[in-house]
Homo-oligomer: A and B are copies of this chain.
Amino acid sequence: MINLDDSILTTVPTLFSVLNWFGIVVFAISGALAASRKEMDVIGFIIFANITAIGGGTVRDMMLGLTPVFWVSQTTYIVVASLVGLLVFFTAHIPQSRFTLLLWADAIGISTFAVLGSQIALDANIAPISAIFMAIITASFGGLIRDVLADDQTILLRQEIYLTAIFIGSLTYVGMIELQLDKNLAAISGFLICLIIRGLALKYNWYFPGYKSRPGRKY
């Protein structure tokens, strides 16, 4: 007899393990593409792939004191990100011509890290609101460091619905865990809500109204 709960318990971690690596690869590609826009050499591609893919988790681990940071022992992360960087150096025209596809892949990436980042933070026994902050850091700081080092405009300065999607996805997951709902259900809910919000924003070009200084006021 198949026990449904057990089956989910096995499926969902596997699903998120796959999504985790999918997210790492997508972030590494977006880092390497920043390198291609700046016409860097192959080492630049590899470094930007790594910074983008593992930067957010590295900052999270340093803040939580989970040191040495995760990729020091789990070297598969830097191996995979480096290979992606190398590969993109020779084939950057392919992801470039699929930029819209990449935005969607990135949406899956941040949705994954919104959940996994929250999970790692909660596992460190920290307050729920801190866990949500850590999830936002996990999912966004790699891209932030990439943009600062590449001298690009950071996501903070664009009015896209990006961090908000991560925030609500993480809030959903952490909230459901706090309410002692099923962990797998919480993970899938947080993931889907982040993905739907970011997806709708991409599809319909939604953005939050930015602050406008009042007309006639001298600043």
B-binding residues in A (CB < 8 A): 35-45, 47-48, 50, 58, 62-65, 67-69, 71-73, 75, 78-79, 89, 92-93, 96-97, 124, 126-127, 129-130, 133-134, 136, 144, 148-151, 153-154, 156-157, 159, 163-164, 167, 207-214, 217, 219
Contacts and interface: CB of A to CB of B under 8 A. Distances in A.
Contacts of A164: 41, 43
Contacts of A134: 72
A156 B44 contact: yes
Contact of A65 (B68, B78, B213): B68
Given A75-B127, A93-B214, 6 more contacts: A36-B213, A40-B159, A41-B208, A48-B156, A65-B68, A68-B126
Copies in the complex: 3
Given A93-B213, A213-B93, A67 B63 contact: yes
B41 A209 contact: yes
B96 A129 contact: no
Given A68-B126, A72-B63, A217-B93, A210 B133 contact: no
Contacts of A97: 217
28 contacts: A35-B211, A36-B211, A38-B156, A38-B157, A39-B211, A40-B157, A40-B159, A40-B211, A41-B209, A43-B164, A44-B156, A47-B156, A63-B72, A64-B67, A64-B68, A64-B72, A65-B67, A71-B130, A73-B127, A75-B130, A78-B133, A89-B211, A92-B213, A93-B217, A96-B213, A148-B149, A149-B154, A149-B156
Nearest to A40: B210
A130 B159 CA distance: 36
| Max count, chain B CB within 10 A of own CB: residue among A42, A133, A163 | A133
B79 A129 contact: yes
B72 A210 contact: no
Contacts of A151: 153-154, 157
Given A69-B63, A96-B213, A129 B78 contact: yes
